[in-house]
A and B are shown apart, each in its own frame.
Chain A
Amino acid sequence: NAGVTQTPKFQVLKTGQSMTLQCAQDMNHNSMYWYRQDPGMGLRLIYYSASEGTTDKGEVPNGYNVSRLNKREFSLRLESAAPSQTSVYFCASSVQGMLDEQYFGPGTRLTVT
C-alpha cells in the first residue's frame, strides 16, 4: 500500500515550457486535491476533484489545468510555465469529500527559470 505517489520528485523548466505532474493513490479514495506550498505561506489549494469525473477550482487555479483520469489518478498540467509557478506541489486524497481527513503525497519540487 503506497498511499499517495507523485512523479516526478524534482523538475526544472524554462519559462513557457509545459509539463504534467502526475498523482496516483491506491487507497480507493473518491476525492483528490492539488496544493502548492511557497516559502512563508501556508499550503494553498489549486484544484480538487470531489469524485471521478468532476473537478473544481480552488484558491489559486490560474495557470493550471487538471484531469481526473480515473479514480486513482489526478494530474496537474502547466501549459506555459512562469517563474511565479516555482513551488512545491502536493497531491492529496480523502475518502469522500473535503471534510474527511486528507492524506498527502511526498511532493514535487518545481523550479521555473
Chain B
Amino acid sequence: KQEVTQIPAALSVPEGENLVLNCSFTDSAIYNLQWFRQDPGKGLTSLLLIQSSQREQTSGRLNASLDKSSGRSTLYIAASQPGDSATYLCAVQGGAGSYQLTFGKGTKLSVIP
C-alpha cells in the first residue's frame, strides 16, 4: 500500500522567508505527484502537478521538485506572505498497483506578519 508522509506537520515562519515543505512516499512507481493548498473550512486548490517523467514544476513563487527514485518531493515557497498561510497537501498518483491518489496528512503553514 502506498503511504505518503509530510514533514513537518506544522511550520511557522516570519513573512519574507523562503521555506521548504517535504513529502515522501513509499512506492516509487508513481504516475504523478500533486501539491494542493487547503484553506480552513474550504476545499482543495491544486497548485502544481509533476508528471513522473519530470523533475520539477514552477508556478510564480512556488517550485516543486520530484525525485521519484528516492520517493521524495519538496515544495519551495519563495518570499513567503501571510496569504500563504494554509495547509499544504501532497498527493501521489499510483504505486502499489493502483491509479488512486494517496494523500499525506498535510503541513499547516503559518506566515507571521
Residues of A within 8 A of B41 (CB): 107, 109
Query: How many A-B contacts if CB must be within 8 Å?
Result: 52
Chain A residues touching B, majority SS: loop
Compute how far the CA of A41 lies from the CA of B5 in the bound complex, rounded to whole angstroms.
Answer: 11
When C-beta atoms are compared, the residue in chain A nearest to B106 turns out to be: A42
Compute how far the CA of A49 lies from the CA of B36 in the bound complex, rounded to whole angstroms.
Answer: 22
Residues of A within 8 A of B102 (CB): 42
8 Å CB contact of B93 from A90, A99, A109: A99
Compute how far the CA of A106 lies from the CA of B4 in the bound complex, rounded to whole angstroms.
Answer: 23
Q: Is B103 an interface residue (CB 8 A)?
A: yes
Residues of B within 8 A of A106 (CB): 42-43
Restricting to B69-96, which residues have a CB under 8 Å from any CB of A?
Answer: 89, 91, 93
Residues of B within 8 A of A105 (CB): 43
Chain B residues touching A, majority SS: strand
Known: A42-B104, A45-B100. A99 touches B42 (CB 8 A): no
* Range for the number of chain A residues in contact with chain B: 20 to 34
Compute how far the CA of A92 lies from the CA of B60 in the bound complex, rounded to whole angstroms.
Answer: 25
The answer to whether A101 and B34 touch across the interface, beta carbons within 8 angstroms, is: yes
The answer to whether B46 and A42 touch across the interface, beta carbons within 8 angstroms, is: no
Q: Is B107 an interface residue (CB 8 A)?
A: no
Residues of A within 8 A of B46 (CB): 101-104
The answer to whether B105 and A42 touch across the interface, beta carbons within 8 angstroms, is: yes
Q: Which 8 A-B pairs give the minimum distances between C-beta atoms?
A: A42-B103, A104-B44, A98-B99, A104-B43, A106-B43, A43-B103, A101-B49, A107-B43
Residue pairs across A and B with Cβ atoms less than 8 A apart, 20 shown, are A41-B105, A42-B89, A42-B102, A42-B104, A43-B91, A43-B101, A43-B103, A90-B43, A92-B44, A98-B100, A98-B101, A99-B93, A101-B46, A101-B49, A102-B34, A103-B46, A104-B43, A106-B43, A107-B43, A109-B41
